């Protein structure tokens, strides 16, 4: 089993963090992983994307040309990467920033207002954790328990309140995936 993933959006939305946590969790579960970030010099507000591969086998290249999954947090990300999603692949999109969506009918699309839901949870910064929840809820790529353990060890002493909101966001994302058509 090999899953190739691209997460894309504006700098500051946490797209690199999505790929990083997926790769770290995959590694903890004994899988082979790669994480290849790409961003402009402007960082926050500029475009950013990350290619992440999680596999039971050795990974020949970290470059993802035809992703199995695209997490698109803004419309430019859909415009750039959605045409290359493998037929039968998955597009997770943030409807708050993707007004035109994607017109493909040969992929599974899970659309949710991630910005609105993050604000409802209590902090716009949990947007990326919502996306992780949707991703793992739809694909089973990694286990929730692994994410919870990894996130807890990373954030417990840094920001316990944000840790609680992040875990709630992941669970909410899993629910979104389970309730998607």
Flag whether pLDDT at 45 surpasses 70.
no
pLDDT tens digits for 120-175?
Answer: 999 999 999 999 999 999 999 999 999 999 999 988 888 888 999 999 999 999 99
Q: What is the largest CA-CA distance in the chain?
A: 45
Map out the domains of the chain with their CATH numbers: 2-179 (3.40.920.10)
State residue 40's pLDDT score.
67
- DSSP letters spanning 126-180: GHHHHHHHHHHHHH-SS-HHHHHHHHHHHHTTT-HHHHHHHHHHHHHHHHHHHH-
Calpha distance 145→103 (Å, rounded): 35
Q: 3-class SS at 36?
A: strand
Burial class of residue 47 in the structure, from the number of CB atoms within 10 Å of its CB (0-12 exposed, 13-18 middle, 19+ buried) = middle
This prediction's pTM: 0.93
Mean pLDDT of 70-98: 96
């Amino acid at each position: 089993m090999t899953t190739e993933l691209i997460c894309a959006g504006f700098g500051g939305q946490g797209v690199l963090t999505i790929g990083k946590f997926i790769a770290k969790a995959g590694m903890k579960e004994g899988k082979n992983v790669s994480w290849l970030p790409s961003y402009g010099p402007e960082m926050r507000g500029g475009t950013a994307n990350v290619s992440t591969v999680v596999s039971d086998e050795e990974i020949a290249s970290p470059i993802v040309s035809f992703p199995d999954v695209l997490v698109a947090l803004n419309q430019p990300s859909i415009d750039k990467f959605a045409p290359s999603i493998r037929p039968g692949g998955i597009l997770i999109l943030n409807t708050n920033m993707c007004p035109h969506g994607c017109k493909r009918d040969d992929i599974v699309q899970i659309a949710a207002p991630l910005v609105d839901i993050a604000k409802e949870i209590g902090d716009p910064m949990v947007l990326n954790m919502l996306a992780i929840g949707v991703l793992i809820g739809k694909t089973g790529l990694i286990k929730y328990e692994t994410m919870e353990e990894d996130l807890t060890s990373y954030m417990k002493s840094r920001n316990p309140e944000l840790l609680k909101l992040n875990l709630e966001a992941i669970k909410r994302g899993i629910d979104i995936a389970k309730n998607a058509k």
